[in-house]
């Protein structure tokens, strides 16, 4: 099955439409180990390094993809569309505006029209027919994946599962052929179920902020004796925390799903994002939060000041980090995390 | 430190100071701004008055229609920059945890509120509500979410879809449907807040005055095509004030009429902002100026480089249609929110710039690669390459920041300016 690649800044792209068109939705995640020189010919280095890495990925791998969709998330997505249009070779480059304002009637109406237009564009480009039945089938498959991811996610707090292993499962869930994915996730569920109990020397944390797109950063958390057992990241809980509702109109089901999933910092109003985090902490009993943003990622940098203050006021231990986009082990960050761990003694 | 000296106290290197004559009517602006600041300050203290913080990209006319006083924190941040206190305010915001990478206007605003500075230094009072679009940047949304939460007041957002390169007319109309729906939602919001129901008469009255203001601005820009230009950036950078915050009122119209009277007098006497001989190079400046370093433009002028076109100031005065039924007027307003030069796609921006370069006889372009305005900078490298290739004129991609003086280093900037001038000189031979 061919890949339809997409670039969104959170979980904005409606993967089910690509699946109904017969494609594997493939989330572009860049390669942190590759230099950004190809993208840096066109983009200044004070613009999101992750997005520049995605562009490098597109410049070097677009021939492996049937087409590319940029779904609006943050400013970078639509501004990059213009630049990609000039330089990335692909038979199909599409921009899908996903409302920034969630929950209003006008936003829902507009979002539906945008998805209908996108469906028409796919049908015209690839000679496929995307029916409601096919969309519903895709939703069923998508929900099966989400259910398995929910189970895997819940094992993080019970078993000895490294941060990078969880991250790897999340990456598979947004890049692998979805039919094959079910089997892979079932095997993981079986394997993780047999793992040793959660290690006593690790602290359970909630991870929030910019999306982490490479495993090396997750390894650093392990090295600092921290285990992510809850999060609200797009390569994480955001993409599976809620299921797509069962509705007569599949597009309306997708809209309701998008409006109710754990909210990224790129949407308005912002409060549901914080509410999700507060509830996750309350439900899980976790006392420690690592909030981070990758350099130049503005939406999360804006939110972090309030979030840190609010979490502290609620009695949680919280650390805010700004990280480089780099696979290199950052000992300064590890030292800070270790010191933070030592100062905040409890292991809950 | 004076803005004409370096950190070491030395005057910057370069040719002797050349005077750029500002229009006499520009002097009226101080009084207009003071009057506005007094009115907004009063309005925020009177319990029956409603005030709204708005941003660039949000039609201030919508406030005037409901008798709401619009207040512009970006404009206030310019005042802080010009008053050379923005750094102090930015550092205050950073002390609260806001990243060095965040918009310097935003941090100036956080500092101005937190440190309670006066209006003459960019101080700004708590509003009844905040309203913005995301037309220019998502930063406007994050900024206003942050401040609305801080003040405990409502925030209304216009969700503006992005008109990317190659969008067709039918798709654009769909975008406008969504924006028009949101204009109605704003009207419901404002009606609830003010208790005032908007009439078609009032709507048209405000928009007609706003259209008149834009027409005058466009006329001013027509005169800038002349050599020597009768109007330089030294006038327009401040003269946009009525377009930003006073559209729909008479005061701006009178001011622009006075400006035009001066311009016409200059043209009749064949004089310009500088003489024809002194105007060696006509420069297009893209982006927000460095408010803490306005002398940069004087330094340019010392070399005979006069800024004769700025997409930034032009953007605030687009042509506006009038005399249409209210629903159509709402769609036109919605169209303008989406389709402004400052928000053009890269493809459209290239065409726009290349037309301007021809029409305004531009010899060189400065693109402000502004660390506080990443969306406007994305695509600038393609814009630079296209202009250089298609028009054969030098383009300076200038890394700096609009309100954070830490981004400006005198000597490197001076060196780059000299190189830019040399390239324009070589190109003219």
Coil, strand or helix at B368: strand
Residue with tokens 């950052």: A330
The vertex-A197 CA angle with A191 and A202, nearest 5°, equals 115
Given phi > 0 = left and psi -120 to 50 = alpha, else beta, which region is B347? alpha
Looking at residue A322, its pLDDT comes to: 96
In whole angstroms, what is the distance from residue B331 CA to residue B333 CA?
5
Closest CA to B121 of B156, B90, B85, B152: B85
- Shortest Cα distance, chain A CAs vs residue B57, angstroms: 15
pLDDT at A344 over 90: no
Q: What is residue B7's predicted lDDT score, i.e. its pLDDT? A: 46
What is the C-alpha separation between B373 and B55, in angstroms, rounded?
Answer: 14
Instruction: State the number of CA atoms in the 13 A half-sphere of B422 facing the CB.
Output: 7
Q: What percentage of chain B exceeds 90 in pLDDT?
A: 93
For residue A69, the model assigns a pLDDT of 98
pLDDT (average), residues B378-391: 98
User: Residue B405 gets which letter from DSSP?
Assistant: G
pLDDT at B8 exceeding the cut of 60: no
Q: What is the DSSP string of B292-351?
A: GGTHHHHHHHHTTEEEEE-HHHHHTS-----SS-HHHHHHHHHHHHH--GGG--HHHHHH
Residue B389 has pLDDT above 50, yes or no: yes
Asked if the model's pLDDT at residue A342 lies above 90, the reply is no
Computed over every residue of chain A, the mean pLDDT equals 96
A243 to chain B, closest Cα gap in Å: 26
Q: Are B346 and A86 inside 8 Å of each other by CB?
A: yes
pLDDT in tens, A159-212: 999 999 999 999 999 999 999 999 999 999 999 999 999 999 999 999 999 999
Q: A103, A300, A302, A319: which to substitute to probe chain B, counting the most B Cβ within 10 Å? A: A302
- B380 contacts A81? CB cut-off 8 A: no
Cβ of residue A86 closer than 8 Å to a chain B Cβ? yes
Tell me the pLDDT tens digit for each residue of A252-266. Answer: 999 999 999 999 999
Mean pLDDT of B379-390: 98
Query: Which residues does residue B130 pair with via DSSP β-bridges, in sequence order?
Result: B53, B155
- State yes or no: pLDDT of B26 exceeds 60: yes
For residue B2, pLDDT over 80 is answered with: no
pLDDT in tens, A107-156: 999 999 999 999 999 999 999 999 999 999 999 999 999 999 999 999 99
Residues of chain A with Cβ-Cβ distance to B377 below 8 Å are 44, 46-47
Chain centroid to CA B313? 5
Contacts of A60 (CB under 8 A, 6+ apart): A34, A38
pLDDT digits (tens, 9 = 90+) for B56-108: 999 999 999 999 999 999 999 999 999 999 999 999 999 999 999 999 999 99
For residue range B198-210, what is the model confidence (pLDDT) as tens digits?
Answer: 999 999 999 999 9
A347 touching chain B per CB within 8 A: no
Picking from A86, A110, A299, the nearest residue to B138 by CB comes out as A299
Contact A41, B381 (CB under 8 A): yes
| Average pLDDT for chain B | 94
pLDDT at B6 over 70: no
Dist. CA B140–CA B136, nearest whole Å: 8
- Contact at CB, B97 and A304, closer than 8 angstroms: yes
**pLDDT above 90 for B17:** no
Asked if B142 lies within 8 A of A46 by C-beta distance, the reply is no
The string of pLDDT tens digits covering residues B408-421 is 999 999 999 999 99
> Which of A268, A274, A312, A319 should one mutate to test binding to chain B, selecting the residue with the greatest count of B CBs within 10 A?
A268
Say which residues have a Cβ less than 8 Å from residue B262's Cβ, sequence separation at least 6: B23, B24, B25
Burial class (CB in 10 A: 0-12, 13-18, 19+), A116: middle
Residue A34: pLDDT band (50, 70, 90) is very high
What would the pLDDT profile of A76-104 be if each residue is shown by its tens digit? Answer: 999 999 999 999 999 999 999 999 999 89
Question: Is some CB atom of chain B closer than 8 A to the CB atom of A45?
Answer: no
């Amino acid at each position: 099955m061919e890949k339809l690649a997409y670039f969104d800044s959170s979980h904005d792209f409606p993967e089910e439409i690509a699946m109904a068109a017969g494609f594997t939705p493939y989330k572009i995640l860049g390669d942190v180990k590759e230099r950004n020189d190809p993208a840096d010919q066109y983009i200044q280095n004070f613009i999101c390094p992750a997005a520049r890495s995605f562009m490098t990925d597109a410049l070097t791998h677009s021939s492996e993809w049937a087409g590319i969709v940029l779904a609006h998330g943050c400013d970078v997505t639509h501004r990059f569309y213009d630049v990609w249009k000039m330089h990335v070779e692909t038979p199909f480059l599409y921009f899908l505006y996903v409302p920034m304002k969630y929950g209003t009637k006008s936003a829902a109406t507009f979002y539906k029209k945008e998805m209908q237009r996108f469906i028409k564009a796919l049908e015209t480009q690839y000679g496929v027919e995307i029916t409601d039945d096919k969309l519903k089938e895709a939703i069923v498959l998508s929900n099966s994946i989400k259910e398995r991811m929910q189970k895997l996610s819940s094992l993080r707090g019970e078993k000895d599962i490294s941060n990078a292993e969880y991250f790897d499962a999340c990456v598979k869930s947004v890049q692998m052929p979805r039919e094959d994915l079910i089997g892979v996730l079932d095997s993981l569920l079986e394997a993780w179920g047999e793992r040793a109990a959660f290690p006593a020397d690790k602290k359970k944390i909630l991870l929030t902020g910019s999306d982490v797109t490479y495993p090396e950063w997750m390894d650093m958390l392990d090295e600092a004796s921290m285990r992510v057992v809850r999060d609200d990241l797009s390569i994480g809980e955001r993409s599976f925390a809620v299921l797509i509702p069962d509705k007569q109109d599949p597009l309306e089901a997708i809209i309701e799903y998008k409006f109710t999933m754990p909210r990224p910092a790129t949407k308005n109003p912002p409060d549901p994002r914080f509410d999700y985090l507060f509830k996750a902490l309350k439900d899980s009993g976790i006392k420690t939060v690592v909030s981070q943003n990758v350099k130049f990622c503005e939406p999360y940098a804006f939110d972090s000041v309030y979030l840190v203050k609010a979490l502290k006021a609620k009695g949680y231990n919280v650390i805010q980090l700004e990280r480089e986009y780099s696979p290199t082990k950052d000992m300064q960050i590890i030292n800070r995390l270790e010191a933070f761990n030592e100062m905040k003694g409890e292991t809950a | 430190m004076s803005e004409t000296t370096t950190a070491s106290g030395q005057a910057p290197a370069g040719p002797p100071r050349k005077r750029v004559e500002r229009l006499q009517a520009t002097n009226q602006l101080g009084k207009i701004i003071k009057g506005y600041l007094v009115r907004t300050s009063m309005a925020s203290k009177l319990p029956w008055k409603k005030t709204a913080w708005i941003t660039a990209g949000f039609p201030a006319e919508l406030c005037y229609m409901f008798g709401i006083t619009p207040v512009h924190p970006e404009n206030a941040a310019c005042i802080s920059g010009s008053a050379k206190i923005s750094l102090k305010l930015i550092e205050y915001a950073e002390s609260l945890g806001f990243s060095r990478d965040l918009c310097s206007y935003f941090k100036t605003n956080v500092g101005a509120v937190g440190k309670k500075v006066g209006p003459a230094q960019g101080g700004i009072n708590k509003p009844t509500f905040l309203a913005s679009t995301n037309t220019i940047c998502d930063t406007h949304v994050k900024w206003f979410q942050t401040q609305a939460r801080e003040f405990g007041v409502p925030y209304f957002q216009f969700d503006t879809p992005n008109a990317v390169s190659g969008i067709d007319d039918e798709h654009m109309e769909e975008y406008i449907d969504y924006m028009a729906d949101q204009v109605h939602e704003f009207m419901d919001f404002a009606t609830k807040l003010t208790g005032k129901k908007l009439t078609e008469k009032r709507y048209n009255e405000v928009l007609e005055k706003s259209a008149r203001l834009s027409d005058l601005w466009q006329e001013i820009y027509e005169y800038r095509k002349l050599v020597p230009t009768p109007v330089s950036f030294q006038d327009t950078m401040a003269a946009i004030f009525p377009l930003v915050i006073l559209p729909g009122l008479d005061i701006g119209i009178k001011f622009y009429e006075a400006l035009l009277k001066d311009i016409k007098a200059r043209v009749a006497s064949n004089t310009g902002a500088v003489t024809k001989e002194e105007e060696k190079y006509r420069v297009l400046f893209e982006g927000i100026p460095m408010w803490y370093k306005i002398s940069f433009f004087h330094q340019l002028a010392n070399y005979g480089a006069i800024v004769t076109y700025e997409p930034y100031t032009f953007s605030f005065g687009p042509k506006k249609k009038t005399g249409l039924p209210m629903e159509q007027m709402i769609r036109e307003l919605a169209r303008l929110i989406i389709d402004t030069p400052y928000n053009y796609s890269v493809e459209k921006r290239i065409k726009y710039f290349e037309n301007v370069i021809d029409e305004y006889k531009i010899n060189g372009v400065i693109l402000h690669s502004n660390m506080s305005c990443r969306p406007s900078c994305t695509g600038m490298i393609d814009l630079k390459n296209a202009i250089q290739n298609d028009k054969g004129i030098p383009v300076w991609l200038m890394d700096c920041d609009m309100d954070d003086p830490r981004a400006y280093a005198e000597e490197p900037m001076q060196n780059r300016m000299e190189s830019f001038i040399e390239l324009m000189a070589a190109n003219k031979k």
